[in-house]
C-alpha cells in the first residue's frame, strides 16, 4: 500500500491542463497507489494532478453511495456531449472543509481509454457522471470554486487563502464527514 500526498489548492499543478498518457505500462502501479490514497483520504474520486502527476488520468469509486457501482479508471478522457442539469453539494480533497453546491449537466457522453489502452465512448448519469465532471475539471485546471457564483466564491475566500498558505503541508482532517468529496 502506497499512500501519496494530496496536493492542495494553491499548488500550480492543479491549474495545469494535464498531458495525455502515452506510457500505459506504468499505469497499473500508479493507479493502485492512487486508489490507496483516495481511500485513505475518504474521497470518491481522484485526479492524477491531485497527487502531483501531470497526467490525464482519474479514478472513481462511488460504490459506497450507489451499490450498483464499481471502481473506474479513465485515461485521456474527454466529455463529448452533455445535457440536463442538477445541483449537488461537492467537496474536494484539494480544498479541505469547503463544500459548495455545484450546478452541472446531469448526463454526459464521455470518450476515454481504459488502462489497457482500449478506446471507449459511453453515456453516464447520476453520481458517476458528477464525479467524472469534477475530476475532468481537475485535469483541465478547474476547481469547484470556478463553478459557483462570485458571491459564493467570496464567502470561501478566507478559507482558500489559508489552504494556499498551508499548501504542501499534509494535514489530516479528522472530522471530515463523507458526503461527496473528490
Ligand atoms: Zn476535487
Residue 68 pLDDT > 90, yes or no? no
82 falls within a domain: yes
> How far away, in angstroms, is 46 Cα from ligand 1 center?
7
6 falls within a domain: no
Beta-carbon contacts of 113 under 8 Å, excluding residues fewer than 6 positions away, are 21, 74, 75, 76, 77, 119, 120
Q: Residue 77: which pLDDT band, with cuts at 50, 70 and 90? A: very high
> How far away, in angstroms, is 160 Cα from ligand 1 center?
14
* Maximal C-alpha separation, the chain: 45
89 included as an active-site residue: no
> How far away, in angstroms, is 125 Cα from ligand 1 center?
19
Looking at residue 181, the DSSP 8-state letter turns out to be B
29 falls within a domain: yes
Per the structure, the count of domains in the chain is 1
Give the helix/strand (H/E) hosting 77: strand 71-83
Q: In the chain, which residue ranges form alpha helices assigned H by DSSP?
A: 27-40, 126-139, 150-155, 157-166
Looking at residue 182, the DSSP 8-state letter turns out to be -
d(CA 57, CA 63): 19
Q: Residue 178: which pLDDT band, with cuts at 50, 70 and 90? A: low
174 falls within a domain: no
The conformational region for residue 117 under phi > 0 = left, psi -120 to 50 = alpha, else beta, is left
**Active-site residue (options: 41, 90, 106, 135):** 135
The CATH number linked to 38 is: 3.90.45.10
3-state class (DSSP) for residue 24: helix
More confident residue, 177 or 71: 71
pLDDT 10s digits, 110-145: 999 999 999 999 999 999 999 999 999 999 999 999
182 falls within a domain: no
Domain span at residue 158? 12-166
Q: What is the pLDDT of residue 22?
A: 97
DSSP string, 87-121: EEEEEETTEEEEEEEEEE-SEEEEEEE-TT--EEE
Average pLDDT, the chain: 92
> How far away, in angstroms, is 120 Cα from ligand 1 center?
24
Beta partners for residue 72, in sequence order: 60
124 grid coordinates:
453516464
> How far away, in angstroms, is 134 Cα from ligand 1 center?
6
pLDDT 10s digits, 11-57: 999 999 999 999 999 999 999 999 999 999 999 999 999 999 999 99
109 falls within a domain: yes
89 grid coordinates:
453539494
172 falls within a domain: no
Residue 168 pLDDT > 70, yes or no? no
Amino acid at each position: 500500500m502506497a499512500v501519496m500526498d494530496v496536493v492542495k489548492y494553491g499548488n500550480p499543478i492543479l491549474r495545469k491542463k494535464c498531458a495525455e498518457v502515452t506510457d500505459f505500462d506504468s499505469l497499473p502501479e500508479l493507479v493502485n497507489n492512487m486508489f490507496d490514497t483516495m481511500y485513505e483520504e475518504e474521497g470518491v474520486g481522484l485526479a492524477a494532478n491531485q497527487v502531483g502527476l501531470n497526467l490525464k488520468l482519474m479514478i472513481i469509486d462511488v460504490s459506497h453511495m450507489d451499490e450498483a457501482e464499481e471502481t473506474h479508471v479513465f485515461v485521456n478522457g474527454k466529455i463529448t456531449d452533455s445535457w440536463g442539469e442538477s445541483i449537488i453539494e461537492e467537496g474536494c480533497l484539494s480544498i479541505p472543509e469547503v463544500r459548495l453546491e455545484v450546478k452541472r449537466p446531469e448526463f454526459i457522453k464521455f470518450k476515454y481509454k481504459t488502462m489497457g489502452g482500449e478506446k471507449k465512448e459511453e453515456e453516464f448519469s447520476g453520481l458517476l457522471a458528477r464525479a467524472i465532471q469534477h475530476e475532468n475539471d481537475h485535469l483541465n485546471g478547474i476547481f469547484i470554486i470556478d463553478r459557483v457564483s462570485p458571491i459564493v466564491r467570496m464567502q470561501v475566500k478566507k478559507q482558500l487563502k489559508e489552504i494556499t498558505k498551508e499548501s504542501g503541508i499534509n494535514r489530516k482532517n479528522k472530522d471530515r464527514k463523507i458526503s461527496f468529496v473528490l
